[in-house]
Structure 1
C-alpha cells in the first residue's frame, strides 16, 4: 500500500465540528449534504443551521472550532469567501455526492414557454435560452418564488419542487458535486 499523501486525511480538529452552517431555506442540496456529512461522522449531536447565503453565515458563525460552513464547488464567489477569510476559515474536508435531481419546474397549468425563471446563480445555465433569469439565493428559494407567482418557472431540486406543489417540466438528473467543509475558528496571524 502506498504511503498516505500529505493532507489526504482531514485535520484532527475536524472532530470538534458540531454545527454545519449552510445555505437555506430547507430543501437545498447543501442542507442535504450537511446532514449526510454529520451522519457519516457519527455526529448524532450535530446540527445544521441554515442561512440566506454563505457570506451571511460567515459573518455570524462563532469562531470556536465547533462551527463550520458547508459549501459546494460551484457556489458563486466561493473563492472570495475562502481567500477573504483565511485568518478564521480553513477547508478541512471535502466529499463527492450527487445533488438531488435538478429540474425545471412550474406551477400546474403554467404556460409552456416561461418568460421568467427563478434560479440560483450556480445552475443558471439550465434556464431555457428564451427565458429571463431571475436570480435568487438558493434552489429552494427559487421553488418558493415560483410557487408564490414571482416567476413563471424555476430551476430547483425535485425535492423543493414537490414540497411547493410544482410540476416537473424538464429533469436534468442528479449532478455529481464536490462539497467542502470549512472550519471556522480564531487563529493567530
Structure 2
C-alpha cells in the first residue's frame, strides 16, 4: 500500500478516535515514505491526543515521541498547516519552562487561518492563547468566530462569556 493510502486510513481512525489503529497507519505511511511530512504531522497529532486523554505516565511515555515527530514534520514540510496546527497546540499547552510559548502559538494558529483552515477547535485554541497573553479583545473575537463555525459549543461559549466579562470590565 502507498503512504497516501495509509494516511487516509490513519485519518479515518483518528476521527473515529481509534488512536491505536491511527498510530499504526501513520507509522506504516512513514515506513513506506520516510520523507512524508504529512504522515509525521498526523502521527504527532496522535501522540498529542494520547497525552491529552491519558494520565501522567502517558504524558511521560508519549512526550519524547510527540516532540520527535512534530519536529520532523516541521523540518520536512514547514508549510504544512497540519504540522503548524499541532505545533500551535504544543506551544499553547506546554508550560513555558518546558518550551511552551503562547506568542509563537498565536503565530502558528494565524498561519493556519491565513491559509484557509477554519474549524472551531483552531479558533478555540487561538482564543485560549490570547487569554494567556491577556489579550482579551482578540480572545473574544477568536471565540466569536469559533461559535459562528460551531454554534452551541459549550467550551467555546464558556470562554466567550469569560472574556466578554473581562473586556466589559475594562481589561484589554
- TM-score, shorter chain, exceeding 0.5: no
| Higher helix proportion | 2
Larger radius of gyration: 1
Higher relative contact order (CA 8 A, sep 6+): 1
Q: Which protein is richer in strand relative to its size?
A: 1
